[in-house]
Amino acid sequence: MSTSPRAGGQPTGGHRTGTPHLRRYDVIVVGAGLSGTLVAKRLGDQGWRVLVLEAGTRTLDTWPGHLDAMNTYYAASAKVPNSPYRANTAAPSPDVLDLVGLPGGGFRANGYLVQNGALPYGSDYLRANGGTVMHWLGLTPRMHPEDFAVRRTFGYGRDWPIGYADLEGHYRAAERELGVAGDAQEQSEAIGLPFPEGYVYPMHRIPRSYIDDVVAAKLDGVPVRESPDAAETTLRVVTTPHARNSVPDARYDGGRGYRPVGAAGLPNYGERCVGNASCVPICPVQAKYNPLKTQATWDSRVTLVTKAVVSRVLADGNGRALGVEYQAYDDPAAPVHTTHTAEADIVVLAAHAIENARLLLVSRLAGHSGQVGRNLMDHPVLLTWGLMRHPVGPFRGPASTSGVESFRTGPARRRRAPFRIEIANWGWSWPASSPGSDVARLLGITGDSGQPRGRGVFGEELRRALGEGIGRQFSLQFELEQEAESRNRVTVDPRHRDRLGNPRPVITYDLSDRLKRGLAAAKAVSDRIFGLLEAEDHTAYGPGPFSPGYFRFEGQDLSFNGAGHGAGTHVMGDSRDSSVVDHWQRCWDHPNLYAVGCGSMPSIGTSNPSLTMAALALRSSEQIHRELTGLHRPVTVRTGGGTGAGDLSPHVPGPAPSPAPARGPSPHSHPHQEVRP
């Protein structure tokens, strides 16, 4: 097979698609989401033969496929993150609509995830080529240095075996790969993030929303206490780094600048965010980063096979991974599958935190520490909402352009979970499904069609009431750090299987008291902020179908949502007795088996995790490259460039004689730019 042109007009890049063409590969990557796509990119560029097995379909990576997803989204009654993407019974995905709150509190889970915890794991993911990042929001803050050592510093959770300094160069590499727009100086001043002197992000920051400006005018510099006996914290509105196309910064990369990467499948499109305000679940112009953009630059040595559900990792008696078993199917609606195996020197699991753990459990691998599947984390989100005194222009621009970062760090972490505050630009869409619910309410349409309906208002009165109400909608999203707890876990149970017979993930999930104290503190801070804004607070938490995350804590009603940030399930550590992977994300028990993704993270701080995950994936790619090089000695050594940040080992191309890439210059002609911004 060779390069196939896309229906949308642009070739897919140099990589192959279709079926595996070799008996044996250098590397198998399981999953073509963000982490798998980055690993394949790096290793393919270095000359290794990479087989990427992706469970989902690749309908999204052509422009007609993208338009189909847009129309599916427009027509969806509930515009949840997975709404644009067609259901796939061969590789099912969890959906936030799977969870239903019960009238007296508690919840029921109806979908792919089996849940038996005290509280719901409220996040989805997407099994389609490109992965969950297809519907991510695209916020890319770095973790704070103190987030890496929460046990040593604050006495909770788990520590990383490496720290911020070890990852700094890879953060920069990831910021290049994802195309991050931000203000490094502001991040440094306001949050205390260390950057190399002179660093700028590839693109200027995404402009702040009018809402941000309104909030900043009232909050900046104001000290608040989260409780009467707490220390003062000074509020400040800070713009958030985004993997979203903005104005390129000419100073980037030592003055070489940066060229924004447009849509996959449509040339010269999407090079600037135009404010469609639908980043979650789909960016119409693809100004938001998605992995298909990176796939379009994959080397010809990378082979992508979609509709290939990996069911098991195969290993020999000595713990060496031999390859994987996978199920190929044709029709996602009525799957009939055939089983195949593929072999490689190194296997990389990149199937999402929950799926990676599921695969390790099903394969009975990496079990020495007993930690596989444990330490499941997310960022529980507290939503608060109200009406401002004047119109603020909600439902414009990216979902959030700024936040308040003052509660992310510091000694208060000893007592309660820290949090980031995202200022929401999309009104009450998350907390109250606005604007649909506003229309229904004013028309007297109740959620339960059996209940008597209100008389409703019509005509100009309806129009005016909607405009006045919705135009003033405001909300805050508090994202709390969840700490690693071994009781929060993914397991498998042979009684619960999907259509292809693969055991479904069984989730046991709860929030610790320190996390609940964090949620209560977040609510108290919200109360102060609403007071400063003189906003009319409409926040209310109670049980009900739309509040599966409702609970009571110390006499207070609270409710949380999932952030989509599943992590911790193949936790990284410094000992094989207490962790699943080492700091290269390599399984302690299996030297040639890697599990990459947020699952490796021992703590997640308060930052949206994918930038850190991407940095880790790039770092692991270097180690995989070194190991492959070791396995395939002797080879010609080419000098003149590290393989990544801080790595001074000579660049060693892979041994495979490889055809010249079908398009453009070889990736080797511009290696390693990421380390010198």
Q: Which residues of the shown chain bind ligand SF4 in the complex (CB under 6 A)?
A: 244, 273-279, 283, 285, 287-288, 397-398
Residue 86 interacting with another protein (CB under 8 A):
no
- Minimum distance from residue 96 beta carbon to ligand FAD (Å): 8
Decide whether 13 or 597 has the Cβ nearer to ligand FAD. Answer: 597
From 42-50, 51-59, 183-191, 416-424, give the range in contact with another protein by CB under 8 A. Answer: 183-191
- The separation between the first and the last C-alpha atoms of the chain, rounded to the nearest angstrom, is 37
Residue 285 interacting with another protein (CB under 8 A):
yes
Q: Which does 70 bind (CB under 5 to 8 A by kind): another protein, ligand SF4, ligand FAD, none?
A: another protein
In this structure, the number of other CB atoms found within 10 A of the CB of residue 626 comes to 15
Binding mask 126-165 for another protein (x = CB under 8 A): ----------------------------------------
- Pick from 229, 232, 460, 554: which binds another protein (CB under 8 A)? 460
Interface with another protein in residues 393-412 (CB under 8 A):
393-398, 401
* Structure-token pair, residue 403: 């936040």
Q: What angle do CA 571, 575, 579 make, to 5 degrees?
A: 20
- Minimum distance from residue 272 beta carbon to another protein (Å): 5
Residue 538 interacting with another protein (CB under 8 A):
no
Decide whether 424 or 604 has the Cβ nearer to ligand SF4. Answer: 424
Q: What angle do CA 427, 189, 212 make, to 5 degrees?
A: 15
Q: Which does 189 bind (CB under 5 to 8 A by kind): ligand FAD, ligand SF4, another protein, none?
A: another protein
* Structure-token pair, residue 45: 């560029």
From 130-138, 302-310, 458-466, 568-576, give the range in contact with another protein by CB under 8 A. Answer: 458-466
Q: Count Cα neighbours of 409 within 13 Å in the Cβ-side half-sphere.
A: 15
Residue 622 interacting with another protein (CB under 8 A):
no
Q: Which does 67 bind (CB under 5 to 8 A by kind): ligand FAD, ligand SF4, another protein, none?
A: another protein
- Pick from 225, 414, 464, 638: which binds another protein (CB under 8 A)? 464
* Structure-token pair, residue 377: 């984390």
Decide whether 75 or 660 has the Cβ nearer to ligand SF4. Answer: 75
Q: Which does 30 bind (CB under 5 to 8 A by kind): ligand SF4, ligand FAD, another protein, none?
A: ligand FAD
Q: Count Cα neighbours of 1 within 13 Å in the Cβ-side half-sphere.
A: 19
By Cβ distance, which residue is nearest to ligand FAD?
Answer: 33
HEC states along 64-76?
HHHHHHHHHHHHC
From 129-137, 164-172, 244-252, 366-374, give the range in contact with another protein by CB under 8 A. Answer: 244-252
CA 236/CA 403 separation, integer angstroms: 8
Q: Which does 453 bind (CB under 5 to 8 A by kind): another protein, ligand FAD, ligand SF4, none?
A: another protein
CA 619/CA 266 separation, integer angstroms: 31
CA 80/CA 594 separation, integer angstroms: 32
CA 650/CA 264 separation, integer angstroms: 33
* Structure-token pair, residue 313: 């990792």
Is residue 672 within 8 A of residue 22, CB to CB? The reply is no
Is residue 618 within 8 A of residue 170, CB to CB? The reply is yes
Decide whether 80 or 224 has the Cβ nearer to ligand FAD. Answer: 80
- Minimum distance from residue 388 beta carbon to ligand FAD (Å): 24
Decide whether 239 or 356 has the Cβ nearer to another protein. Answer: 239
Reported as type and span, the H/E element at residue 166 is helix 164-178
Q: What angle do CA 230, 609, 325 make, to 5 degrees?
A: 145
Residue 471 interacting with another protein (CB under 8 A):
yes
* Structure-token pair, residue 271: 């090079």
Decide whether 412 or 563 has the Cβ nearer to ligand FAD. Answer: 563
- Minimum distance from residue 645 beta carbon to ligand FAD (Å): 20
- Pick from 2, 110, 188, 234: which binds another protein (CB under 8 A)? 188
* Structure-token pair, residue 568: 């911790």
* Structure-token pair, residue 329: 């199917």
- Minimum distance from residue 232 beta carbon to ligand SF4 (Å): 35
CA 40/CA 617 separation, integer angstroms: 10
From 150-158, 355-363, 385-393, 662-670, give the range in contact with another protein by CB under 8 A. Answer: 385-393
Decide whether 286 or 547 has the Cβ nearer to ligand SF4. Answer: 286
- Pick from 149, 222, 230, 466: which binds another protein (CB under 8 A)? 466
Angstrom distances, CA of residue 130 to CA of 271, 333, 360, 495: 19, 20, 22, 30
| Pairing outcome for strands 50-53 and 302-305 | parallel
Question: Could you tell me which of 638, 619, 670, 608 has the C-alpha nearest to residue 253?
Answer: 670
Q: What angle do CA 17, 504, 18 make, to 5 degrees?
A: 10
- Minimum distance from residue 183 beta carbon to another protein (Å): 4
Q: Which does 458 bind (CB under 5 to 8 A by kind): another protein, ligand FAD, ligand SF4, none?
A: another protein
* Structure-token pair, residue 189: 């001043």
Q: Which does 497 bind (CB under 5 to 8 A by kind): ligand FAD, ligand SF4, another protein, none?
A: none
Is residue 168 within 8 A of residue 230, CB to CB? The reply is no
Is residue 115 within 8 A of residue 507, CB to CB? The reply is yes
- Minimum distance from residue 308 beta carbon to ligand FAD (Å): 6
- Minimum distance from residue 170 beta carbon to another protein (Å): 17
Decide whether 145 or 397 has the Cβ nearer to ligand SF4. Answer: 397
Residue 7 interacting with another protein (CB under 8 A):
no
What amino acid occupies position 95?
D
Please report the beta strands in 92-216, taking only residues with DSSP state E, as ranges in sequence order.
99-101, 107-109, 114-115
Reported as type and span, the H/E element at residue 441 is helix 436-442
Q: 75 CB contacts (<8 Å, ≥6 apart)?
A: none
Decide whether 72 or 649 has the Cβ nearer to ligand FAD. Answer: 72
What amino acid occupies position 241?
P
Q: Which does 217 bind (CB under 5 to 8 A by kind): ligand FAD, ligand SF4, another protein, none?
A: another protein
- Pick from 266, 305, 519, 581: which binds another protein (CB under 8 A)? 266
Q: What percent helix, strand, coil does the chain show, rounded to 5? A: 25, 20, 55
* Structure-token pair, residue 535: 């906003």
Residues that bind ligand FAD (CB under 6 A): 30-36, 53-56, 81, 91, 123-125, 127-128, 131-133, 135-140, 280, 309-310, 350-352, 355, 564-565, 597-598, 608-611, 613
> How many amino acids of this chain bind another protein (CB under 8 A)?
89
- Minimum distance from residue 586 beta carbon to another protein (Å): 33
What amino acid occupies position 291?
P
- Minimum distance from residue 437 beta carbon to another protein (Å): 10
